[in-house]
Structure 1
Amino acid sequence: MEDVTYKSFRYICKKYGADVMSTEFISSEALIRDVNKTMRKMTLFEFDRPIAIQIYGANIDSMVEAAKLAETFQPNYIDINFGCPMKKIAGKGAGSGLLRDIPKMIEMASQIVKAVNLPVTAKTRVGWDDNDKPIVEVSERLQDVGIQMLALHGRTRQQLYTGEADWEMIGKVKSNPRFKIPLIGNGDINGPEKAKKARDISGVDGLMIGRGAIGRPWIFREIKHYFQTGKMLPPPTVPEIVEVIKEQMEQSLSWKEYEKQAIWEMRRHFARYFPGVPDFRELRIALLRAEEHAHVLEILDQIVDKYKDTPVDYTNMSLK
């Protein structure tokens, strides 16, 4: 979720029911070099809490130093990313690349746990590929060196984001009698019904939602309501969505140094709002090309005028 889970998006997700937050993942090497952009990623706000600062890297010493630095920003816990599948990360032995060197993964986790006073958690995947899924053993070993909660994405590294998340494999970790720490499941949750199915299959203690919240930050509220009542909340109207976008954009403008940076930050979100709205391509392109706040507001007003009575359909909303 790099370049997604920054201040403005976290603010909106929290408003709509997200319980626990995480920063964008932060390079340990950049952090110990005091790279300005990386340091800014660790700035936390009261609305965030409870929140983790998430770090990644391939060098154990650098990761230990990064964890110590992250601790000074006073997050509620430190999270180690052993799950990112992208080539520029995994190919360098970080993120899910550590699934190819389990002893190093365990040693890294152990050293970080010993180095900080905060709880340390981890996120990973079920394995490297279909022939290498050691997650039941790996989860035990992470627990045994002091990891206090594990988030598990139900795909292998080789899958990237293709195919389907394997919630039965996640369930095998949860049902392991030796595994005692909380397990958070992740993968493909794009609505309340899928969230319930995933929880029922796996028995996890909680659900992690990433891509499913982009363009649908109220998904947390929808899932909670469904779990409590068995009923679906009606989707927001186009005017309601526009108000959410405006609020998210105001948060971005208050944080970024330059207006254009705030608008650029919003583009990934513009692309995902308004699913299922017919003949929307021209206005979506206009949003993605806008570079000034006033121009974005003008386009949003056009959207309300044209689609104020049009239903929004999340049925086939893609997570890509």
Structure 2
Amino acid sequence: MIKIGDLNLGDFPLLLAPMEDVSDPPFRAVCKTNGADLMYTEFISSEGLIRDAAKSVQKLDVYDYERPIGIQIFGNEISSMREAAAIAEEAGPDILDINYGCPVNKVACKGAGAGILLDIDKMVAMTAEIVKAVKIPVTVKTRLGWDESTIKINEVTERLQDVGIQAISIHARTRKQMYKGEADWSYLGEIMKNNRIKIPVFGNGDIDSPEKAKAYKEKYGVDGLMIGRAAIGYPWIFNEIKHYMQTGSLLAVPDMEERVKVAKKHLDFSVEWKGEKLGVLEMRRHYTNYFRGIPHFKPYRTSLVTTDEYAKVNDILEEVSTVFADEVF
């Protein structure tokens, strides 16, 4: 049984990765329904929380149906991160997660996210202060290192464990790689053989099929998997992986009726959470993935990403369900 604090996550939990502009409550809702065991919010700026910035504060929204749920924060100042951690805890999450993995320039080049991998001592000091600042379990999401010459992830995991984190998720790429090239899970395999490591270690990077999930579990021995991009527009991947792990057989891929049903549920949550205008707008990034690979779908995709009214988008989805009812995936 994998545990984070008092939270029981099952024998091999599947986590939804925190993704900026993706992992909002509407997206988390459809992932939870389809088998995600633990989810995290989008990363939230510590400075934004301290300033009470509207966008940052809205990201604190968590709901009981999502539990267990973690709030993730990022920043480059220890005092600000400590204060933001206390603010985040008041929102009622089960876990507080620290983002030490975001590779984008506007974050990493300011010493936050993956940028802190250039200063491991500061990373450890910041983590220690955050652990002291809250009563809920603290976890970390990070990468292997800034580049190949700075990979010290085994040492980092030990030191972060020593200052009190209760789990770590590791994206098996360096910051320099961004999201390119192949993730190198051999480093995770080494961590799992390290007898000093007692906390759960979750692997992230390139898990995009049930077969690969099972193979990586068996080869590298991680305690669970964190899935990000493969879940965008395809939340079914969590239950597909679980079914394959248990039975060795693949579930049938979702048909058009199921895809439209989940896309509409996602849309409904989005409009309910953000209002019609913004809810419709922010759903646009998901339609390509919900309906990927369908021949002659381009006119419908264009309509879905250019229509501003909820009712009209709903009508388009209904038409898609009818026109492509016999589509085989």
* TM score, norm. by length of structure 1: 0.95
Tell which deviates more after alignment, 110-119 or 166-175. 166-175
Equivalent residue letter for 1:278: P
CA distance in 2, matches of 1:174, 1:284: 44
Equivalent residues of 1:283, 1:299 under 8 A apart: yes
Identity %: 53
1:39 matched residue in structure 2? 57
1:198 matched residue in structure 2? 216
Alignment of 1:44-59 (within 5 A): 44-59=62-77
Runs of 4 or more consecutive aligned structure 1 residues displaced over 6 Å after TM superposition? none
**Pair 1:105-2:112 in alignment:** no
CA distance in 2, matches of 1:293, 1:205: 41
Alignment of 1:156-167 (within 5 A): 156-167=174-185
1:315 matched residue in structure 2? none
Counterpart selection for 1:302 from 294, 304, 319: 319
1:282 matched residue in structure 2? 299
Q: Deviations over 1:213-267 (max 9, x none)?
A: 00100111100000000000000111210011111111111111x3110011211
Listed as ranges, the gaps of 5+ residues in structure 1 are 313-320
- Measured after TM superposition, the shift of residue 271 of structure 1 is 2.1
**Pair 1:6-2:24 in alignment:** yes
Equivalent residue letter for 1:122: V
2:256 matched residue in structure 1? 238
Alignment of 1:1-320 (within 5 A): 1-256=19-274, 258-312=275-329
Equivalent residue letter for 2:155: E
Q: Deviations over 1:131-161 (max 9, x none)?
A: 2211011111000110110000000000000
CA distance in 2, matches of 1:131, 1:197: 28
Equivalent residues of 1:155, 1:161 under 8 A apart: yes
Equivalent residues of 1:52, 1:79 under 8 A apart: yes
SS at match of 2:172: strand
Q: Deviations over 1:193-220 (max 9, x none)?
A: 1111221221110100111100100111
Q: Deviations over 1:114-136 (max 9, x none)?
A: 11111100010011112221101
CA distance in 2, matches of 1:57, 1:121: 15
Instruction: Supply the RMSD in Å over aligned alpha carbons.
Output: 1.0
1:316 matched residue in structure 2? none
CA distance in 2, matches of 1:167, 1:13: 25
Aligned length: 311
* TM score, norm. by length of structure 2: 0.93
Equivalent residue letter for 1:174: M
